[in-house]
Amino acid sequence: MSKQLNRLIIKGGVLSPGELRYICESVESLGLKTISFGSRQDILLPKEVNQEELEQFEKLKIVAANETRIENIVSSYVCADIFPSTSWLTGDRYLYLLEQFHSKSKLKINITDPKQRLVPLFTGNINFIASEHEDYWYLYVRLPDWKSTQMYPALIYSWDLGKIEAAIENILIEEPETIETIFELVSDGVDTNNRTVDKPLEVPFYPFPYFEGMNKIGMDKYWLGLYWRNNKYDISFLKDMCELCSENKIGKISITPWKSFIVKGIPRESKLVWEKFLGKRGINVRHSMLELNWHIPVANKDALNLKKYLVSNFDQNDISTYGLTFGITTYTKACYYFTSIVIEKNKQPTMLGNFQIRDTYNLLYAKNFDPNTRKYILHVQDVDKVELPGLLMELSQLYFDQLGSEKEIEKEVEAPKEAIELEVYQCADCFTIYDESYGDVTQKIRTKTFFKDLPESYKCSLCEAPKTNFKKIVFVK
């Protein structure tokens, strides 16, 4: 069973070397020798620390072990410049966006790029996902008591993200049950620069990336990913690393949701210095993908031992898991999965007497092995631990068998179809599209409202040009 730990809020998983050094020195003074990283890109203290002792450090944003409904903001800033990304969403843009949010949010907030795979898109209560329109975001909401995620019926402007999230937190007391209710209450409460949704969110599939070691960025920079198997990062090592970052004028360190961190912007001329720094301390920077693609509860020895057992079996059988991710969860942990394959430990039945009962597990896998589908399929139920390696290898083979085949099938089905012409209306000034099938919820125009039926007072939702400024265009699908 996982134990509750003190958490340090690290907004968006981004902090400066100076901030990390301050954290290290603060907790070191209380007798800690290591820190850990959480799945929401926060910092965990693997040893119990008295809350009053922690509060003496004013700069630390601390959440006590028994404190609930205070969450860290997750962001895919860690992926900017090093993994596939939406062109307008730069590292600097993330930093400006994160400044909008206060330090202790009641809801889990995700701010992510749909073109990366390292940071999950839909594990928050409030999920902002970048659109193709510069500075506009899809919003997917799943409040704590909701059973499913619902799409907000408008695109959110970058500089309204914090305002929208705060408005949603303020209406929680009214226990809204639908996204339409949230939209109405938020629209009544705050002024926003929304934009109409003109196409559904498309999330491309990418294999899970290798995120460790020294890797090149452009012509003269490198990024370094570091992963420690036990998720206990030595404070003395981290302090020395922060010093080296400062010497190299590296401004930010990024925590990943996979119990690791990434340093970006290492100068080419300092690459050898960093390699010597790691080598002298015996730091391994080339773990197998079999090690890196696991998400397990922090401070849970049973889960860690199960992972070691399964990884050892994969290694002995020379199994490839490239592109897949695995998660271990228990009946005591309510969570949104974000791995391709989930190993779920069952709750043991209540028994009388001194009978010993072996643990059993369920195996689930994401539709198409893509966690972003948010649909999980039960593969087997109530199986013994010794059966897991073979069943996981079976799922791994299933993944490689179907990899790419679904797209090929879709192409075969679509090939005979005739081209479809789609009529829309486009603003001549800013190129915003009015699609009759979507309407314009930002101006309370219902779906399937013909353009000719729009009121003469209708204006472009983005630049406020008049209705007469829209021209009919035809797309061929």
Chain-centre distance of CA 52, in angstroms? 32
Domain at 101, CATH number? 3.90.480.10
**Backbone phi, psi, residue 396, to 5°:** -60, -40
Strand, helix or coil for residue 308: helix
Alpha-carbon distance 130 to 151, whole Å?
13
Domain boundary (287, 316, 342) is at: 287
The reply to whether 88 falls in a domain is yes
pLDDT score of 407? 47
The verdict on 111 and 36 lying in the same domain is yes
Alpha-carbon distance 425 to 443, whole Å?
16
List, for residues 426-443, the tens digit of each pLDDT value.
Answer: 888 877 888 887 788 778
Alpha-carbon distance 50 to 158, whole Å?
39
List, for residues 31-63, the tens digit of each pLDDT value.
Answer: 899 999 999 999 998 777 766 777 777 778 888
The reply to whether 258 falls in a domain is yes
The verdict on 277 and 380 lying in the same domain is no
Q: Which amino acid is at 134?
A: E
Q: Are strands 73-75 and 433-434 parallel, antiparallel or unpaired?
A: unpaired
The verdict on 113 and 210 lying in the same domain is yes
The verdict on 259 and 324 lying in the same domain is no
The verdict on 300 and 327 lying in the same domain is yes
pLDDT score of 48? 73
The verdict on 348 and 382 lying in the same domain is yes
Domain at 451, CATH number? 2.20.28.10
The verdict on 426 and 347 lying in the same domain is no
The verdict on 245 and 307 lying in the same domain is no
> pTM value?
0.83
The reply to whether 378 falls in a domain is yes
Domain boundary (354, 380, 409) is at: 409
**Backbone phi, psi, residue 253, to 5°:** -120, 140
* Residue 292: how many other CB atoms lie within 10 Å: 21
Number of independent structural domains in the chain: 3
The verdict on 6 and 58 lying in the same domain is yes
Alpha-carbon distance 73 to 81, whole Å?
20
- For residue 25, give its domain range: 1-121+203-287
Residue 262 tokens, joined: 């990434």
Alpha-carbon distance 164 to 412, whole Å?
43
The reply to whether 136 falls in a domain is no
Alpha-carbon distance 448 to 458, whole Å?
16
Residue 133 tokens, joined: 């329109």
The verdict on 109 and 44 lying in the same domain is yes
Mean pLDDT by 10 residues, the chain (477 residues): 73 95 92 92 83 73 75 94 93 94 87 95 95 96 91 94 94 90 92 90 88 90 93 94 96 95 95 94 86 85 90 88 89 72 83 66 92 91 91 91 59 43 79 80 81 88 85 70
